[in-house]
Amino acid sequence: MDKYFKNGINVLKKLHESGYEAFFVGGYVRDMLLDIKSTDIDITTSALPEEVIEVFDNVKETGKKYGSVTVIIDGYKYEVTTFRNDGEYYDNRRPESVEYTKNLKSDLNRRDFTINALVMDSDEVIHDNFDSKADLEKRIIKTINDPFKRFEEDSLRILRAFRFVSKIGFDIEEKTLEAIKELACSVKNISIERVMVELNKIFRGKYRNKALKYMIETGVDKELYNISEGLEFVSNLDVELEPLEVFIICFIFSDISDEWKFSNKHYRLIDQILILQEIIKEDIFNKFIVYVNGLESCLLCNKINVILGYKDQEALIRKLESNLPIKDVCDLKFKGQDILWLTTLKKKSVIGKVVDDLKYNVIMGYMPNEYEVLKEYALKKVDELQAEMGDNNE
Strands 68-73 and 59-63: antiparallel
Residue ranges of domains in the chain: 3-132, 147-241, 264-322, 333-389
Query: Span 147-241: which CATH code?
Result: 1.10.110.30
Return the biggest CA–CA distance within the chain: 89
* pLDDT tens-digit readout, 89-98: 565 556 666 7
Whole-number pLDDT of residue 174: 97
Element (H, E) at 62: strand 59-63
Burial of residue 328, with CB atoms counted within 10 A of its CB: 0-12 exposed, 13-18 middle, 19 or more buried: exposed
DSSP 113: B
State which H helix or E strand residue 373 sits in. helix 371-389
How confident is the model over 197-227, as pLDDT tens digits? 999 999 999 999 999 999 999 999 999 999 9
Model confidence pLDDT, tens digit, residues 330-355: 999 999 999 999 988 888 888 999 99
pLDDT above 90 as % of the chain? 85
DSSP annotation string for 220-288: GGGGSTT-HHHHHHHTT--S---HHHHHHHHHHHSPPPTT----HHHHHHHHHHHHHHHHHTTS---HH
HSE-up (13 A, CA, CB side) for residue 248: 27
CATH classification for the domain delimited by 3-132, as one of 3.30.460.10, 3.30.365.10, 3.90.1150.10, 3.50.50.60: 3.30.460.10
pLDDT band at 182 (very low <50, low <70, confident <90, very high): very high
Answer yes or no: are the C-beta atoms of 162 and 176 closer than 8 Å.
no
Q: pTM of the predicted model, to two decimals?
A: 0.88
* Predicted pLDDT at 349: 87
